[in-house]
Amino acid sequence: MKKSVVVLAAFICMIIVSFAFTKADPPRYKNLKILPKDITKEQMDSVMHHFAGALGQKCSYCHMYNQEQKSMDFASDENKHKGAARGMLKMMYKLNRKFFEVKNSKDLNAKLEITCYTCHHGAEHPATKGLMTPMPPQGQPGPPPPSTNQ
C-alpha cells in the first residue's frame, strides 16, 4: 500500500516536472504591435538595423534610455519616433501589398519593393520636391552644379 503511494507521488512529480519544461517560452519581446510576435532575435536585429541605417540614426533615436535600470528600455513607447516608425511600417506593408502586388508583405522574408530605405536613403527627412518644383526637362541634363571657382 505504502509503496504504491510513493510510486503515485513520484509519477505526479514527473508530470509536474515535465509540464514545467514543456511550457511555452515566454514571448521574447514585450511590446510588438506590428512585427510578428514570433520574430527571432536575428530577425529583430536585422529589422532594427535596417530602421537605424535607413534613417541614418542610432537606436536611441526611437528608444528610451532607462535611468534607473541603467540600460535601454526597448519595450517602452515613450519616444514619439517609435510611434512614427510604427505608422511608417504599416504604410510600407500597405504600399507593397496594394501598389506592388507583394501579397505577403508582412512576411519577414518577403521580397519587398518598398522599404524604409527606398524613401529615406539614410536620412531622417527624405528629400522631397513638390510637383510644382521645376525639374530638368526629360532627356536633358539637369542644371550644372554650382561653380566652385567663383
One of 64, 108, 110, 114 touching ligand HEC (CB under 6 A): 114
Q: Does 48 sit near ligand HEC (CB under 6 A)? A: yes
One of 11, 15, 75, 100 touching ligand HEC (CB under 6 A): 75
Asked whether 62 and 82 are in contact (CB, 8 A), the reply is yes
Shortest approach of ligand HEC to residue 110 CB, angstroms?
13
For 81, 83, 117, 131, 145, the CA distances from 88, given in Å and listed in that order, are 10, 9, 12, 22, 33
Asked whether 129 and 135 are in contact (CB, 8 A), the reply is yes
Q: How far apart are CA 10 and CA 4, in angstroms?
A: 10
Side chain identity, residue 125: H
Shortest approach of ligand HEC to residue 68 CB, angstroms?
17
Q: Give Cβ neighbours of residue 7 (< 8 Å, ≥ 6 apart).
A: none
Q: Tell me which residues in 84-103 interact with ligand HEC (CB under 6 A).
A: 84-86, 88-89, 92
Q: How far apart are CA 31 and CA 86, in angstroms?
A: 12
Q: How far apart are CA 49 and CA 41, in angstroms?
A: 12
Shortest approach of ligand HEC to residue 133 CB, angstroms?
15
Choices 2-10, 75-83, 98-106, 142-150; region in contact with ligand HEC by CB under 6 A: 75-83
Choices 3-11, 16-24, 104-112, 124-132; region in contact with ligand HEC by CB under 6 A: 124-132
Query: Where does this chain bind ligand HEC (CB under 6 A)?
Result: 29-35, 44, 48-49, 51-52, 55, 57, 59, 61-63, 74-75, 81-82, 84-86, 88-89, 92, 114, 116, 118-120, 124-126, 128
